[in-house]
Amino acid sequence: MNKLKLFIAGIMMCLATTASAQTKDNDAHDYYMYSWIQVRGANKANGDPCFVILMSSGNGTNFKPSILKNEVGRTVVFNSQIDGLNYLTLQGWELFEPRTEAKISNWIARKKVSREILAQSVNSNTFYLDETPKIQLDLAEQAAHIDYK
């Protein structure tokens, strides 16, 4: 009787393992809009210190970064950098790549968007030229006489 119970338990374990190994093909894909973000120290009109977020539009380089504003156009101000990052998280942004240079915090952030919104951004910010632009070489590349074609 114990051997029968052990045998049935073994079969049940095999069935459970096999069932969990099955995966469904999923054509769903996550699309992200990327943006450059910088948290900067600032001063309110009364002189009190605060932090603001400079953010690119996420739609290419056609627009200079601007101070983050809410839906009604008011400047969003924070007591600390962490408060600013928490705000961005609630808005759907996630930090993708942090960078800190000269006590200024820079990030590449991303926000999940629909394929249509991303395609619209790509189409309006992608250009095709017949002639290849000349790459701006750094000093090491110039010394090595590298020419990217």
SS3 10: helix
Assigned token pair, 79: 């007591």
How high is the mean pLDDT of the chain? 80
In a domain, 147, yes or no: no
Residue 93 lies in a domain: yes
Q: Is residue 132 part of a domain?
A: no
Residue 96, token pair as written in the block: 């993708």
Q: Out of 56-65, 73-82, 90-99, 133-142, give the one with best mean pLDDT.
A: 73-82
| Residue 137 located in a structural domain | no
Q: What backbone phi and psi angles, to 5 degrees, belong to 87? A: -60, -45
Domain count, the chain: 1
Split at pLDDT 50, 70, 90, the class of 1 is low
Q: What is the DSSP letter of 69?
A: B
Q: 39, exposed or middle or buried, with CB in 10 Å at 0-12, 13-18, 19+?
A: buried
Identify whether 121 is part of a domain: yes
Q: How far apart are CA 134 and CA 112, in angstroms?
A: 34
Q: Is 148 part of any domain? A: no
Residue 95 lies in a domain: yes
pLDDT in tens, 51-69: 999 988 655 555 678 899 9
- Cβ(106)–Cβ(38) below 8 Å: yes
Domain that holds residue 64: 31-125
Task: List the beta bridge partners of residue 69.
Answer: 75
Q: Is residue 37 domain-resident?
A: yes
C-alpha 100/C-alpha 45 separation (Å) is 27
